[in-house]
Chain A
């Protein structure tokens, strides 16, 4: 994994692949992630057409930057990073997605490095068992996109904190605090759903 992390640094490494090699890398190392990329795009944009555009942009960029990619390294993290940057730079501006919430203050607070405060949400394991996909999905989608993103990367895709830091361009401490905050918000949402659905405790 370390090689993959390095390639994602701002190092001006250039590989000289010929056309055939480029197409081969694209086919063997990039395209197999299409499914994951499309789903990541969908979880960010919550719109099928937007996801399609975002994914196409991402793969075009990946091809354009292919000479900065080292064959056989962590292409998935590399693609996620391109997609997330495209989403922020090109996409968020023109989409109907709600504006970024102001969590900076909260993060600064958490970044005092000791996340030792907890909010306990009164939610029980038994309640979770009855939840269906739509409820989980709605709860997750109701979170601001930055919070949603860390949960997707961590829980759904299984990226490490270090990989997440590279994908999101934020320090590991921020990954940790943002995740912590995101999980508490998600718990709160799940509890609200449970209450509104009349689940018994």
Chain B
């Protein structure tokens, strides 16, 4: 069940980089962290690919998941329940 710690033979900073690039994609990284990753992935293919993969998965979630239409009348059902609810 536990993930194994992976030392990527092609990049000594892989773990660190992946952790930070996820923060960047979630808009939670500091400016320093952003600079670090952007500079790093210019010269490191493994981390660059990981960045692209993570970014594409987020895009997939955002663009491919269909929105369920709200059942007709639901808004009005809720409104009428509120109308009869006593003032508090």
Contacts and interface: CB of A to CB of B under 8 A. Distances in A.
Say if A and B assemble together.
yes
A199 B56 CA distance: 17
A56 B81 contact: yes
B79 to A, nearest CB: 8
B74 A118 contact: no
Contacts of B66: 133, 137
Interface of A: 18-19, 22-23, 26-27, 31, 34-35, 38-39, 42, 48, 51-52, 55-56, 59-60, 63-64, 66-67, 105-106, 109, 115-120, 123-125, 128-129, 131-133, 136-137, 140, 151, 154-156, 160-161, 179-180, 183-184, 186-187, 190
A149 to B, nearest CB: 13
A60 B82 CA distance: 7
A136 B64 contact: yes
12 contacts: A42-B68, A56-B81, A63-B82, A106-B2, A116-B5, A116-B16, A119-B3, A120-B8, A124-B53, A129-B56, A136-B64, A137-B66
B61 A140 contact: yes
A34 B70 CA distance: 8
A23 B65 contact: no
How big is chain B's contact interface, by range? Answer: 35 or more
B67 A39 contact: yes
Nearest to B16: A116
B10 to A, nearest CB: 11
Interface-central residue, B50, B57, B75, B83, by most chain A CB under 10 Å: B57
